[in-house]
Structure 1
Amino acid sequence: MSGRGLRITLRGFWYLMLLFLYAPLAVVALYSFNSINSSAVFAGVSLRWYHALLADDTIMNAFYNSVVLALSSSVIATVVGTLLGYGMYTHRERRLGWLIWLVYLPIVMPDIVYGISQMSFFTSISAATGGMLDLGLTTMVIAHVSFQVPFVALLVYSRLVGLDSRLFAACQDLYANAWQRAWYFILPTLRPAIVAAFFLAFTLSIDDFVISFFTAGPESTTLPIFIWSAIKKGVTPEVNAIATLMIGAVFAAAAVALAFQYVRAGRRNAAG
């Protein structure tokens, strides 16, 4: 096969994969605008199901819980994960391979195993403390932070590993104390990684179902849990509308992160 033929084949394979990945999402979005209550026959464009969402208190409460959970857990995970990533970099030359293995463990562990273990842990703590950690939004935030932190830490760590170690020595040679190094060098250098880590953590939280399901209480239903309960009666255009809004939120978060990277790259090229 010639080089041109190989390029055409690879391009065709690329477009086929894009179709395979995004065609189901497009179908969900299309039927969310269906004018009739059907997910099999499209009878025309209508916004009735989006109006129905805004009028449904249960759905709006689930939406509120999802946003609060995603924002609070992402902020906490970004702070903790950044500190952990920096600590991993600072002590990278020591024999702490087991620490990095522990950081990877929540990423590779099956969600259902992790969710069950979290539920058992919170239930035991609640029983021992007289209901201090009953299942609810607080336990969901703690559980989400615990699986978001490794992603943040590894992103920050990979950014630090790519830096020239002599830059840290240069800061010390210029008599910068620890706070000055953190404020004027480390944080500005890590800003792209921190922003990307935050949006990654937000995305992981907003669409998580398994861990949320096992750590949620009766008053802390999120949108993924609501969708799972609703589809027991069949996939309706209202469910498609909820899914479309969630898809839009994820795409918006990814677009903001990508735009931030482009702006930073443009400023760097202009300065260079």
Structure 2
Amino acid sequence: MRKRTLHRTLRGFWWLTLLFLYLPLAVVVLFSFNASNSAASFTGVSLRWYRRLLSNDVILSAFSNSMVLAVVSSVIALVIGCLIGYGMYRHRHRKLGWLIVLIYLPIVLPDIVFGISEMAFFVQVNRLTGLFQPGLGTMVIAHVTFQIPFVALIVYSRFVGLDPTLFEAATDLYATPAKRVLHFMLPTLKPALISAFFLSFTLSVDDFVISFFTSGPESATLPIYIWSAIKKGVSPEINAIASLMIGAVAIAAVFSMLVNRRQT
């Protein structure tokens, strides 16, 4: 009897936790279909906010900037982070405490501190050399710097989970370094690389603070646009933007899960 009561309690706590996590998202999605101009009352179902959204050039430009920023920075971070993760694995027996600190520092550092430091760096370099004018380029560099540690740690954890003799077996079979990378390391790391890419992509799309400090007048992203728009109050149009972002992240998560399940 006690065991059954415990199971029911845990199950109820589980459903309450899910309700607490996803009820606000459900409210946002529901009010994105609101026919009323007010975000405080729901008067009916309408798609006019989505039609208005798709005809707004400013929002479409912000969405384009967000996608370009997320894809480009994620690809660059994936390449650099993969190399760093492999280097950490190859030299794991050495004393690399300072390297671990440098890897973890961008993760634990508050975003506002990181964003201000990036902005100060770009401003000083631009003043001295004329390079790094605030815009999409500086935002890509800033995003790559905080995405690399996540990619490196994911790749490193994947390497640690491998049998070290697999590398020796590939060498014994006369595989050249290029063939080891192409036929052994990349297929083995494929799930980790996919996960690292989608994690970097999500972090980039979600970021506001670092993007805000490193952006230019023509490189506003969706989070920056939403922040500037809610100063006038939360409108159903903002709810529509949030709903589309929720749907995009959900589709990416399901796709990643399906790919990992297929690999398994």
TM range (shorter): over 0.9
CA distance in 1, matches of 2:240, 2:213: 25
250-259 vs 221-230, greater mean Cα deviation? 250-259
| Cα displacement (A) at 1:143 | 0.4
| Cα displacement (A) at 1:180 | 1.1
2:83 is aligned with 1:46: no
CA distance in 2, matches of 1:48, 1:181: 55
Alignment of 1:128-207 (within 5 A): 128-130=128-130, 132-207=131-206
Alignment of 1:77-96 (within 5 A): 77-96=77-96
| Cα displacement (A) at 1:257 | 0.5
CA distance in 1, matches of 2:4, 2:149: 42
| Cα displacement (A) at 1:2 | 2.2
CA distance in 2, matches of 1:19, 1:111: 29
Q: Which residue of 2 aligns with 1:28?
A: 28
Q: CA RMSD in A?
A: 0.9
Q: Which residue of 1 aligns with 2:241?
A: 242
CA distance in 2, matches of 1:166, 1:97: 26
Unaligned ranges ≥5, structure 1: 266-272
What amino acid is the match of 2:175? A
Q: Which residue of 2 aligns with 1:270?
A: none
For residues 18-77 of structure 1, give each alpha carbon's deviation from its aligned partner in whole angstroms, at most 9, with x where no partner exists: 111111111111000000111111111110000001111111100110010011111111
CA distance in 2, matches of 1:115, 1:185: 38
Aligned residues, how many? 264
State the identity as a percent: 65
2:66 is aligned with 1:66: yes
What TM-score does the superposition give when structure 1 sets the normalisation length? 0.95
Q: Which residue of 2 aligns with 1:115?
A: 115
Preserved contact between residue 207 and residue 246 of structure 1 (Cα < 8 Å): no
| Cα displacement (A) at 1:216 | 0.4
What amino acid is the match of 2:72? S
Q: Which residue of 1 aligns with 2:215?
A: 216
Tell me the secondary structure at the aligned position of residue 156 of structure 1. helix
CA distance in 1, matches of 2:213, 2:240: 25
| Cα displacement (A) at 1:3 | 2.2
Q: Which residue of 2 aligns with 1:253?
A: 252
Q: Which residue of 2 aligns with 1:231?
A: 230
What amino acid is the match of 1:246? M
Tell me the secondary structure at the aligned position of residue 37 of structure 1. coil
Q: Which residue of 1 aligns with 2:19?
A: 19
Preserved contact between residue 140 and residue 212 of structure 1 (Cα < 8 Å): yes
CA distance in 2, matches of 1:174, 1:100: 34
CA distance in 2, matches of 1:166, 1:9: 47
CA distance in 1, matches of 2:46, 2:28: 14
What amino acid is the match of 2:228? S
CA distance in 1, matches of 2:81, 2:10: 38
Unaligned ranges ≥5, structure 2: none
